[in-house]
Structure 1
Amino acid sequence: MRIFTLATLFPNAARPNFGIFVERQTAALAARAGVEVTVISPQAVPPWPLSRHSRYRAIAALPAHESWHGLDVHRPRFMHVPGIGSHWQPQLLARAVLPMVRRLHREQPFDLIDAEFFYPDGPAARIIAQELGLPYSVKARGADIHHWGNAARTREAVVQAGRDANGLLAVSAALKADMVALGMPADRIMVHYTGCDQQRFAPQDGSALRQQLGITGQMLISVGALIPRKRQNLIIEALPLMPDATLVLAGAGEAEAEFRALAVRLGVDSRVTFAGSLPHDDLPRWIAAADVMVLPSKSEGLANAWVESLACGTPIVICDAGGAAELLTDPVAGLIADAHPAALADAIGRVLAARPDPAAVRACVARFSWDRNADELHRYFERILAA
């Protein structure tokens, strides 16, 4: 089985945490006997001189082809004009990638195209699949459906890519329902839960890190990009109701300045630590040191941060987004709260008072592994190829 994985969401030297769950899934699949995977991770780069901007300079300097953690990865560039033309991205991506794919396909034919994000990857995979006469699959992860699938200028391309695909994946049953509501065929959508490195993400003593951070009371951590959709502002707004709690924000993003100003305005800035975008391999000790992981996102598929936190034995408080109810089936794992500060503070207080055993919390996600994830993906691709 020769798979061409199309993934704009994939880590690189400029952004080592970007789409790391796609890398882990792909590596686990590639480790299966009889499976060969070639990753093509297109990079959106604007024309010169915008390409010299600090936001794009490191991306433009990435190698065009490399071995990335054992995976064969190509990184072709495609045209990107910041601020305009997002609806043109699938066509621009496909046009840039097709010559390379045709050459690789001639040398060793691919059996299937695996698109790992719904936009622009899904519509681009549709174009490439039609050109090469190959079946294709698209995986939905959350924001790609909730944003691009509902935006006026991209909805049609997203839905068409879903309708024409030979198979579709969704990271939760809730996300599958959202895809069906858009008009995608339910009988072609398989729920494919994420994996987790259960050896790396495990309970551990966090006292040294807490001492290093100067935290003597309760430690809350929020793992996720600092963007409006993740709504970390609600946790900051809840802090005045939790005078013994310190919040660690593990992430970076466009809303950081706004969140810093909010913390100052509420007089809780001394109890908010902006840790930045931590290396993924360093996350377990930060999560395990916390009493609760809080992520009040407006939308999700099924967040990897939820699963990784529970694997570390740290209960979670989240809002009713995506697969939240599919994951939190046991109260020991945490609570789903309404999206306002008082409700979050109340839920966090109840979880803290319960003092759940880390081993019991971890047991709630024992089924989430990359081996299980890869086995399911392998069987799913076999079904597509046998159809």
Structure 2
Amino acid sequence: MSTSTVGAGLRVLHLGKFYPPASGGIESHVQTLARAQAAQGAQVEVLCANHSSDSGNTSHEFHGRSPTHESWDGLVRVVRLGRRASVARMDVLPELPGVLRRMLERGVDVVHLHTPNPTMLLALDLVPRLPTVFITHHSDIIRQKVAGALFRPLELMLYARANRILSDSEAYVHGSSLLKMFRQKVRALPLGIDLEPYLKPSPEVLREEARWREEHAGVPLWLMVGRLVYYKGLFTALEALARVPGRLVVVGVGPLEEEGRARAKALGVESRVTWAGYLPPDSLMGAFRAATALWFPSNARSEAYGLSQVEAMASGLPVLNTAIPHSGVPWVSKHEETGLTVPVGDSNALARAARRLLETPGLAEQLGQGARARAEAEFRDDVMATRCLKLYSEALGRPSPVVAEEAPHEVSEESVRGAS
């Protein structure tokens, strides 16, 4: 069967928190999956909150009012609901119940929720009769322990009703008490991206690569990409930079930026850190191609996967990541194959790994080649979409499409016990 028709006739509704141009790994994943499923014949809609104001503020840190907006992203219909307020990480979306009801009444085969997403989860809890429900569980609620405990009954209610629960990696299931409760429903579905812009860079990307190389000629260029929040390991990176030559380009913004700038000054590395904010895609892809390595020093299971690792790998860039227990991070980029993995929170180890790349002839090139090969084999968006559509068909009791790629597998009780 041609992959262009794998999803023919399936009507899919994705419920996300936000949608690009909102930044973030989950947001990018929802867009990638929706687009790839639509390319394979499914009718795909996305319902989410509008992350931007009329003035064009598109930051994660924007918590004000926004209007309702509907648009098309290629073949994907996107409905961004107006937000009245954001309270304790929950978006107040007055139109959500009515819009969701009307979308379901028009006919939906699969509702696919992406969590953490308390607003959309609560909305589904209130719907008495649901079609087939899939939940992609991107991360447990790690740090907000009180809020997580209060929210858990509502979470359990919907997870019990779900037909399938998807995890980014099998490793994450082993450390999640919530997923282990529903392990018979859980399937591992690795996230993928559209690799073409990375494997076949545009002239604009190549120009950006040349600019990065010219501006940092003869100096190791280290990249760190992601929101500046507690689990990204920003301070670990700054402490490591004090022990290695080169410049660290921090791509992203967030609540820890001000403290990070102060920490860089105290460490004496202020002049070797570039706070780049959000970079346009061409500039970021050019930076991936020009850099020496991606630093990915995340320190908690809130980091369940790390799509920026895949972007770097597809660019042929080695990754220096951390061995977060029960997280997919060290599975995405493997030690000595696509990069180097160091203990969590160990700035000395991160610095040693960086120096090893600089001092071992051919190592960076070898790991970069391995990174690109692994990205092509495991993290293509069309493979992810086909696997997901196959799971939809199985849950709906429809004939499953025949595909060449290995299908996602059930996470067995024995597997979970053995890793606990």
Q: Scaled by the length of structure 2, what TM-score is found?
A: 0.79
Q: Which residue of 345, 354, 368 corresponds with 1:348? A: 354
RMSD: 2.8
Matched AA of 1:24:
T
1:365–1:182: structure 2 CA closer, same or farther, 3 Å change rule? closer
For residue 215 of structure 2, what is the aligned residue in structure 1?
213
2:173·2:180 contact (CA, 8 Å) conserved in 1?
no
What SS does structure 2 have at the residue aligned with 1:55?
coil
Structure 1: gaps of 5 or more residues:
47-53
Q: 1:365 is paired with a residue of what secondary structure?
A: helix
Matched pairs, number: 365
Q: 1:114 aligns with which of 112, 115, 120?
A: 112
Residue of structure 2 in register with 1:146 after alignment: 142
Does the aligned pair in 2 maintain the 1:315–1:333 contact within 8 Å? yes
**Corresponding residue of 1:124:** 122
Change (3 A) 1:248 1:303: same
The DSSP-based 3-state class of the residue aligned with 2:71 is strand
In the TM superposition, residue 198 of structure 1 has moved relative to its aligned partner by: 1.9
Measure the CA separation in 1 of the matches of 2:231 and 2:124. 28
Task: Name the CA distance, whole Å, in 2 between partners of 1:200 and 1:66.
Answer: 24
1:172 and 2:169 aligned: yes
**Do residues 36 (structure 1) and 43 (structure 2) align?**
yes
Q: Distance in 2 between matches of 1:17 and 1:325?
A: 19
* Shift of residue 28, structure 1, vs aligned partner: 0.4
Per-residue deviation, 1:17 = 5.8
The verdict on how the C-alpha distance between 1:158 and 1:308 changes in structure 2, with shifts beyond 3 A counting, is same
- Secondary structure at the aligned position of 2:17 is classed as coil
**Aligned equivalents of 1:45, 1:287: Cα separation in 2:** 28
Structure 2 residues without counterparts, runs of 5 or longer: 1-9, 54-60, 399-420
Q: Name which of 322, 330, 341 aligns with 1:325.
A: 330
Cα distance, 1:115–1:96 mapped onto 2, change above 3 Å: same
Which one is further off, 339-348 or 97-106? 97-106
Q: Note the alpha carbon deviations across 1:258-306, whole angstroms, 9 max, x for none.
A: 1111111111111111111112343221111111100111231111011
Secondary structure (helix, strand or coil) at the match of 2:295 reads strand
Q: CA, structure 1 residues 224+81, in 2 after alignment: closer, same or farther (shift >3 Å)?
A: closer
Structure 1: how far apart are the matches of 2:354 and 2:289? 16
Q: Choose the corresponding residue for 2:372, options 362, 372, 376.
A: 362
Deviation for aligned residue 1:122: 6.0
Q: Does the aligned pair in 2 maintain the 1:162–1:184 contact within 8 Å? A: no
Which range is displaced more, 293-302 or 63-72? 63-72
CA distance in 2, matches of 1:197, 1:170: 20
For 2:187, what is the secondary structure of its paired residue?
strand
1:301 aligns with 2:304: yes
Aligned to 1:386: 397
TM-score calculated relative to the size of structure 1 = 0.85
Cα separation, 2, equivalents of 1:365 and 1:81: 37
Distance 2:132 2:83 in 1: 23
User: Aligned letter for 2:175?
Assistant: D
| CA offset digits 1:311-350 (Å, max 9, x no partner) | 1111111111211332234513111112221111012222
Partner of 2:189: 192
Q: Which one is further off, 328-337 or 262-271?
A: 328-337
Distance 1:182 1:369, change over 3 A: closer
1:7–1:16: structure 2 CA closer, same or farther, 3 Å change rule? same
Shift of 1:30: 1.4
Aligned partner of residue 191 in structure 2, secondary structure: coil
After superposition, the Cα gap between the structure-2 partners of 1:359 and 1:343, relative to the gap in structure 1 and judged at 3 Å, is closer
Conserved in 1, the CA contact under 8 Å of 2:17 and 2:120?
Answer: no
Shift of 1:6: 0.9
1:154 partner SS: helix
Cα distance in structure 2, aligned partners of 1:376 and 1:149: 34
2:82 to 44, 67, 77: 77
Partner SS state of residue 331, structure 1: coil
Per the TM alignment, residue 101 of structure 1 is displaced from its structure 2 partner at its CA by 2.4
Q: Distance in 1 between matches of 2:388 and 2:145?
A: 24
Amino acid of the residue matched to residue 365 of structure 2?
P
CA distance in 1, matches of 2:52, 2:118: 14
1:81, 1:181 → 2: CA distance?
A: 26
Partner of 2:418: none
